[in-house]
Chains A and B, each alone.
Chain A
Amino acid sequence: MKTVLYVALVATLLVWLPLSAATAQQAAPVAPSAAIEADGPDYRALSAEVPTDPDRAFNAGLAAAHEDDIGAALLYLERARAYAPLDREIRDTVTLVRREAGSRRADLWSSDRLTQGQPAALYWWHFFRSLPLMLVVYILLGASIMSVSLVVVRTRLRRGGRRDAATVFAVVGVLVCINAVIWIVASQRVASRIEPAVIVASNPTYRDAPDGLASSRRGPEVYTGALVLIRESRPGWLRIELADGDRVWVAEDTAQRVLAE
């Protein structure tokens, strides 16, 4: 019984310690909040100094929105969302600006049926971005220690209720370990393979080939603020995947990557 208690205590500590450490990392603000003004600070430059700071990216997105640069606004806001996936205010702001972008797109392509949404793979990208990876690692470590301890305890116990209980908890622990490993591996694969970008050009065109001789076209699927996936890149060109799954080529400055690193 003592062994089981020790194992439970160690597992609890392993889960609780990183959570408390993450909470303690909040630093005090040093600059006051201010409304977006024309002669205010250059929020884009501030974001460029620390591109991975979600607050700076958020402010830059707001500034770009006030400058009526919808593409850049969505780029910065999506970046802020990527670095702070659980921030509700950022998420709501992204939704608001995206509605405006959709409205402008519908005005521009009023005679076409518009494909809504975003590439399907981005769902998993957002999902794993919002997954606290190190927490899953701590859970994996805790579940591993707990499972191994329970297997040892079970082996030493004679037949009876305790031995059965230890067996059940050991199996549950092993399943938790397997799930955690799957999540970690999937998270790393998604992070390495999926590269989201936002169309920032104000009047974007696309081509069937990465070639200046290929005819450039305009269509409702490639619009300012559209969230796309970069599938291939060549000097001066990006091959992007659209919401309907089509892949087209755009000039390199038409789309910008959401992640700054």
Chain B
Amino acid sequence: MVRRRHDPRLIRALRLAAIPVVLFALLYVPAPEAFAQSINARVNRATIGDNETVVFEVVTDGPVDRVTPPDSGDFIIVGTQRGTSIRFANGQTVQQTSWGYVLRPTHTGQLSTGRAAVYSGGNVTHTEPIIITVTPQGGTGTQPQGIAPAPAPIRPTPLPNGGFEVPVAPTVAPEDGGIPPMPSVTSSQMLPSGVAEHERGDPLIVAYVSKATPWVGEQVLVDFVYLQPVRSFGQSTTSMTDPEFTGFWFRDVTEMRAAGTIRRSLGTRSFNGQSYNAHLLRSYILVPLNEGEQIIPHIEVSVEDRRVFRRNNGDARAIRSLPMILDVRALPPGPAVGTGNVGRFTMRVEPESLTARAGDTVSLSVVIEGTGVPSRVRAPGPVDSDDIRVFDADTNHHEDPSPRDWITGRTSTRIPLQIKHEGTFEIPPIRFSFFDPWKGEWETLSSEPIEVRAIGTNPLVEVAEDTNEASSSWLSALPQPRPLNSSSPPPRRSSVPTVWWLLCLMPWVLLALWFGQRRAAAKRASGAGERSKANAGQAAERSLQSISPGASGACGEVAVCVSEYLRESFDLVTRGMTNAHLLETLRPLLGDEAEETAAILHECEVARFAGMDDAGVGSLRDRALALVRRIEGTR
């Protein structure tokens, strides 16, 4: 039986190739936990009154990208809540996330909650709709256990002792050309929400809002403050659920608001006749996006109660703020610039160049800077005219990373303009309108007209002369229809035929074959060299035996025989070497025979010039013969 011997290089190459395959498999084969997922939807009440709310909760095990609220026309979402917990099951850690939506019915009857969509790993799963019975006049529905009912939202009202000293950074002094001043928020302006029903000695959360009736697009500051009774012990907060704002642009500014505090402590304050230690939980800047009643959802903190002489010692319970209603006012009639231009701004208009050629494109930079949300600001620009053609603008927004009271930043717009003809003309003033919520009126900024000189014409650019007509009737700028070809055009190739791949591959295959052939030839030649090395000893012996000691030049022949033997057997060329160098070179090759070899060659060299009798030559030949035999014997 013939046992195949594997090429070690092939095995090594296969091993190397296996490494990326294994890595690829590890990367792309998902872990089994990734598929483990369960999605449940439930409500906390099956029957509610028409002025009550119900909590629709989606609970998921495992990773989830996002969840969209239930889509029902029968309910409106008045609040959201989110919680996360980790549990251990069957030796594995499972992250459980719950999304709660506080729904208020729009009418009575058998109403459907609609479906919530859960997006996870590119898949979407819809929960089943749940039927809720809504009865008139606040029905006495069943109250399943699980989620506490959310309180109805209320409007913020100023309380006699409701003011809070949240440390506010001082207002920035106006600078020339800088951001215009805006009113700062003081404690007396912050309006508190009410508080939920509670027992004396229980902690509270109060939400404070800077304005109860903001304009659409106006910034509103909201502080959520945790009030812990001064003489309470054994109460500690364990977790917090951030509010999820619907209908607002928002930004968390807690760190900026609490910059001057120690661990967000606001000191001891009195509220409803009781002393509390106040802590700032969260601060947000909200921008209402729509008019009408907009609800600021509650924030929830889980408090663990370990007071000694108290029932339910060790229980964790949820403390919530009351949701608040903001009466958002519509902007008064003004320029049609949308609801993004709300705040206080300055405008800077700078042309890239005041001189150009007809047909050239110059850029006009319009920078709007001030107090307002930059990403919502719509910057103005010039319009097409007889002199210029306006292209699509490139807009960038920069929001100051550390706002003080309000969001500030700038909106930079670069507008390319093409000059249509030679001459001197004006880019008309650019007007930017915004609504100042502190003044309650529209304001308009206007730039100076910009004079541009067009000298000469750019021959490489074709100026569209009919753009003015196009601005009035864009259809007239469209080209004429084209004549049709009799034959349909050949289809565009979107893939390369295999024959072309083979054609492109063929030269490389031929090259590989050629190299393979060369290598095989070299191998054959190498094998022949090995064979010639094996025969070198016999050839040297025959040559030495044929030398007659009495012949002329016998010493030289002996030297030639030994040198040829060394060259063929060891690829060693002795010609030109000194005796010491020769000895040094021979030692690693011949070991103990190196000195004898060097001595024979040296004596032959000496004899060639000094002469030697026949007996000496014979002895030298015999020594060389014996040397060759010994070397061959050891090999």
A interface with B by C-beta (< 8 Å): 25, 27-36, 43, 46, 50, 52-56, 58-59, 62-63, 65-66, 83, 89, 93, 96-97, 99-100, 102, 110-113, 116, 129, 133-134, 137, 140-141, 144-145, 147-149, 151-152, 155, 177, 184, 187-188, 191-192, 208-209, 211, 213-215, 261
Contacts and interface: CB of A to CB of B under 8 A. Distances in A.
Nearest to B483: A29
Given A50-B488, A54-B489, A83-B492, A141 B483 contact: no
Nearest to A85: B492
A147 B339 CA distance: 64
B119 to A, nearest CB: 8
A148 B510 contact: yes
Contacts of A151: 511
Nearest to B337: A110
Interface in B500-525: 500, 503-505, 507-508, 510-511, 514, 518
B115 interface: yes
Contacts of A110: 336-338
Nearest to A43: B481
A96 B510 CA distance: 53
Contacts of B478: 62, 65-66, 93, 96-97
A27 B494 contact: no
A28 B455 CA distance: 43
17 contacts: A28-B485, A52-B488, A53-B488, A55-B483, A58-B482, A62-B478, A93-B479, A111-B338, A111-B339, A112-B338, A133-B494, A134-B496, A214-B71, A214-B117, A215-B72, A215-B73, A261-B491
B312 to A, nearest CB: 41
Contact of B129 (A56, A144, A155, A213): A213
Given A137-B504, A209-B117, A188 B494 contact: yes
B483 A31 contact: yes
A96 B375 CA distance: 27
Given A133-B494, A141-B504, A96 B474 contact: yes
Nearest to A217: B71
Interface string B83-122: 0000000000000000000000000000000110100000
A150 B470 CA distance: 58
B10 interface: no
B508 A89 contact: no
Contacts of B508: 144, 148
Given A35-B480, A137-B504, A209-B124, A29 B339 contact: no
A149 B470 CA distance: 58
Contacts of B114: 213, 215
Contacts of A54: 489
B484 to A, nearest CB: 5
A191 B483 CA distance: 29
Given A27-B487, A52-B489, A209 B481 contact: no
Contacts of A53: 484-485, 488-489
Contacts of A215: 71-73, 114
Contacts, number: 149
B378 A113 contact: yes
B69 to A, nearest CB: 9
A145 B507 contact: yes
Given A141-B504, A144-B507, A213-B114, A62 B484 contact: no
B475 interface: yes
A114 B340 CA distance: 11
Contact of B126 (A33, A43, A56, A211): A211
Residue from the set B340, B490, B507 with the largest chain A CB neighbour count within 10 Å:
B507
Contacts of B117: 208-209, 214
B282 to A, nearest CB: 26
Q: Classify chain B: how many residues form its interface, as a range.
A: 35 or more
Given A29-B483, A52-B488, A152-B514, A113 B73 contact: no
Contacts of A29: 483-485
Contacts of A46: 484
Contact of A141 (B482, B486, B500): B500
Contacts of B485: 27-30, 53, 55
Nearest to B486: A30
Given A112-B338, A215-B73, A137 B484 contact: no
Nearest to B467: A96
B376 interface: yes
A159 to B, nearest CB: 18
B7 interface: no
B339 A213 contact: no
Contact of B483 (A32, A36, A261): A32
B511 A33 contact: no
A96 B489 contact: no
Which 5 A-B pairs have CB atoms at the shortest separation, nearest pair first? Answer: A215-B71, A29-B483, A148-B507, A111-B338, A59-B481
A113 B375 contact: yes
Contacts of A116: 392, 395
A32 B482 CA distance: 8
Contacts of B481: 33-36, 43, 58-59, 62-63
Interface in B373-419: 375-376, 378, 392, 395
Nearest to A22: B490
Contacts of B510: 148
B483 A184 contact: no
B337 to A, nearest CB: 8
Contact of A213 (B71, B480, B487, B503): B71
Contact of B477 (A25, A33, A43, A96): A96
B68 interface: yes
Residue from the set B71, B487, B518 with the largest chain A CB neighbour count within 10 Å:
B71
B417 to A, nearest CB: 15
Contacts of A149: 507
Contacts of B518: 155
Residue from the set B375, B474, B483, B495 with the largest chain A CB neighbour count within 10 Å:
B483
A191 B492 CA distance: 12
A232 to B, nearest CB: 9
Contact of A140 (B482, B487, B491, B504): B504
Contacts of A62: 478-479, 481
Interface in B293-347: 336-340
Nearest to B378: A113
A102 B393 CA distance: 12
Nearest to A133: B493
A156 B476 CA distance: 68
Contact of B376 (A113, A177, A261): A113
Contact of A144 (B124, B339, B470, B504): B504
B74 to A, nearest CB: 11
A100 B474 contact: yes
Contacts of A55: 482-485
Contacts of A33: 480-483
A249 to B, nearest CB: 9
Contacts of B477: 96
A102 B475 CA distance: 15
B280 to A, nearest CB: 31
Contacts of B340: 111-113
Residue from the set A35, A62, A209 with the largest chain B CB neighbour count within 10 Å:
A209
Contact of A137 (B337, B500, B511): B500
Nearest to B216: A111
Given A52-B491, A59-B482, A148 B511 contact: yes
